């Protein structure tokens, strides 16, 4: 490494350390299971996005194994070269019927799906309106597209309308929002956003990463609200409640054809391995066969949220399986995380820059595979923590 690059690396790291934002990869094993191993200790896992527990299910494992036996370990190339195989066709057929859209495209991850959609639809002349708390992959997609990035206050249609009114009428406009926000567990005001998009002729893209498998009998927030036909592009991921890996986009035939021609994250990357596509297909089958699991998960989360609120914890605007316990300073969140571990629970401590200053939090992901013992463990732990004394 040259001297100048070395000092840039060192200065960059020193700065991250000074700001108290240094991250490292935790020593975790079995991190998608109900109980994970953390430095040799078995802890209830409230940090994984495997909300339905599908990742470790026999049906997904068997589907992955069978796919490997038929198609091998790798796809061997981009889908546009030789990386395509029959399972992809079946998966996209299932996605079409799941999302009730004329076409669908499986992508390599939710992250690359967002990069692909935004950079295919937007260019320098486009105005992209984006919720302030949208996921990093949306922000990166907007940067990649070189479009003008106009951020509106979180879940605030009035602020959005104010900004839309200021925009030139003839400009191409796109609105993109998470449907369930990953660090807050609240929902986008989708009905209002749909109306505003119609009124101001805006293309609407929604990211259903955390809603898929849970809300709307597993089909997402748009389906829950009966608005699925009002969305121009649905994006989601197989890597959270669906217990597998990979992203998808669903929408019109023309949209999918455009992505196939323009989305560099699809064109210039090796297609997903067969084990993953097989598991994705099975995950969709599971969600369609058991739509009640998402409902049950939401009720379990509501039970925990109410309990925490009664103890005086601030859970923000959460209404889903993601419950933030907002604690303020980063050090406080880390201290709470440590105490929870002592009581047998692993929860993510989320700190700036992932969330705003002074809003560090524990992010609890409630899971449908928890039973009464786990629900009690969580409640007792937070009761013992007693946030009013634990400053
Ligand atoms: C809202 C949102 N969109 C997209 C992604 C990216 O999905 P994936 O993990 O499949 O890349 C995530 C998760 O990391 C997310 O929370």
pLDDT per residue as tens digits for the range 71-88: 999 999 999 999 999 999
Tell how far the Cα of 286 is from the centroid of ligand 1, in angstroms.
Answer: 21
Tell how far the Cα of 111 is from the centroid of ligand 1, in angstroms.
Answer: 6
Q: Give the per-residue pLDDT at 167.
A: 97
DSSP string of 26-50? --EESTTSSEEEETTEEEEE-S-S-
Whether residue 260 is predicted with pLDDT greater than 60 in this model: the reply is yes
Tell how far the Cα of 161 is from the centroid of ligand 1, in angstroms.
Answer: 27
**Fold designation for 56-289:** 3.40.640
**Fold designation for 21-50+291-385:** 3.90.1150
Ligand 1 within 6 A of CB of 110: yes
Q: Give the per-residue pLDDT at 381.
A: 97
The pLDDT mean for the chain works out to 96
| 366-391 tens-digit pLDDT | 999 999 999 999 999 999 997 655 55
Q: Residues 348, 349, 354, 359: is their CA dihedral positive or negative?
A: positive
Q: Give the per-residue pLDDT at 4.
A: 86
| 145-192 tens-digit pLDDT | 999 999 999 999 999 999 999 999 999 999 999 999 999 999 999 999
Whether residue 279 is predicted with pLDDT greater than 60 in this model: the reply is yes
> How many CA atoms within 13 Å lie on the side-chain side of 117?
36
Owner of token pair 């950079």: 119
In the chain, residues under CATH classification 3.90.1150.10 are: 21-50+291-385
Q: Atom 8 (ligand 1): residue with closest C-alpha?
A: 110
Atom of ligand 1 nearest to the CA of 182: 16
Atom of ligand 1 nearest to the CA of 137: 4
Least Cα distance to 137 among 228, 3, 235, 30 occurs for 235
Ligand 1 within 6 A of CB of 131: no
| 352-363 tens-digit pLDDT | 889 999 999 999
Least Cα distance to 205 among 251, 246, 172, 243 occurs for 251
| 17-38 tens-digit pLDDT | 888 788 899 999 999 999 999 9
Atom of ligand 1 nearest to the CA of 237: 10
Distance of CA 369 to the CA centre of its chain: 19
Percent of the chain with pLDDT over 70: 99
Ligand 1 within 6 A of CB of 209: yes
In the chain, residues under CATH classification 3.40.640.10 are: 56-289
Tell how far the Cα of 34 is from the centroid of ligand 1, in angstroms.
Answer: 21
Atom of ligand 1 nearest to the CA of 180: 1
Give the C-alpha separation, 311 to 301, whole Å: 15
**For residues 311 and 180, is the Cβ–Cβ distance under 8 A?**
no
Q: Give the per-residue pLDDT at 387.
A: 63
Residues paired with 322 in a beta bridge: 365
Sequence length of the chain is 391
Q: Give the per-residue pLDDT at 272.
A: 98
**For residues 369 and 53, is the Cβ–Cβ distance under 8 A?**
yes
| 106-117 tens-digit pLDDT | 999 999 999 999
Atom of ligand 1 nearest to the CA of 111: 11
Least Cα distance to 240 among 218, 216, 271 occurs for 218
């Amino acid at each position: 490494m040259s001297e100048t690059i070395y000092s840039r690396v060192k200065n960059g790291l020193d700065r991250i350390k000074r700001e108290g934002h240094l991250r490292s990869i935790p020593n975790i094993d079995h991190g998608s299971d109900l109980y994970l191993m953390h430095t040799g200790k078995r802890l209830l896992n409230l940090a994984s996005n495997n909300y339905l527990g599908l990742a470790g299910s026999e049906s997904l494992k068997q589907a992955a194994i069978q796919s490997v036996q038929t198609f091998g370990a790798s796809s061997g190339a981009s889908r546009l070269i030789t990386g395509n195989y029959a399972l992809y066709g079946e998966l996209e057929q299932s996605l079409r019927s799941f999302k009730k859209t004329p076409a669908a495209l499986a992508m390599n991850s939710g992250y690359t799906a967002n990069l692909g959609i935004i950079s295919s639809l937007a260019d320098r002349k486009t105005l992209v309106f984006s919720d302030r708390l949208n996921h990093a992959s949306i922000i990166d997609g907007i940067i990649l597209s070189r479009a003008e990035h106009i951020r509106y206050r979180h879940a605030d249609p009035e602020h959005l309308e104010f900004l839309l009114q200021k925009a030139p009428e003839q400009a191409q406009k796109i609105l993109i929002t998470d449907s369930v926000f990953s660090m807050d567990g609240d929902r986008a005001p989708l009905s209002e956003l749909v109306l505003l998009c119609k009124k101001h002729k805006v293309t609407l893209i929604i990211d259903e990463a955390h809603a898929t498998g849970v809300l709307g009998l597993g089909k997402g927030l748009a389906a829950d609200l009966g608005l699925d036909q009002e969305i121009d592009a649905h994006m989601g991921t197989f890597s959270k409640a669906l217990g597998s890996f990979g992203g998808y986009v669903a929408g019109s035939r023309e949209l999918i054809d455009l992505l196939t021609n323009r989305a560099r994250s699809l064109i210039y990357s090796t297609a997903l391995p067969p084990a993953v596509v097989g598991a994705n297909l099975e995950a969709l089958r599971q969600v369609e066969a058991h739509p009640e699991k998402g409902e049950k998960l939401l009720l379990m989360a509501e039970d925990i949220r109410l309990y925490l609120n009664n103890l005086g914890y601030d859970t923000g605007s959460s209404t889903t399986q993601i419950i933030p316990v907002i604690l303020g300073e980063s050090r406080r969140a880390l201290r709470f995380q440590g105490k929870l571990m002592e009581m047998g629970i692993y929860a993510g401590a989320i700190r700036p820059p992932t969330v705003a200053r002074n809003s560090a939090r524990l992010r609890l992901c409630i899971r449908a595979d928890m039973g009464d013992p786990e629900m009690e463990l969580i409640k007792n732990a937070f009761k013992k923590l007693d946030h009013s004394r634990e400053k």
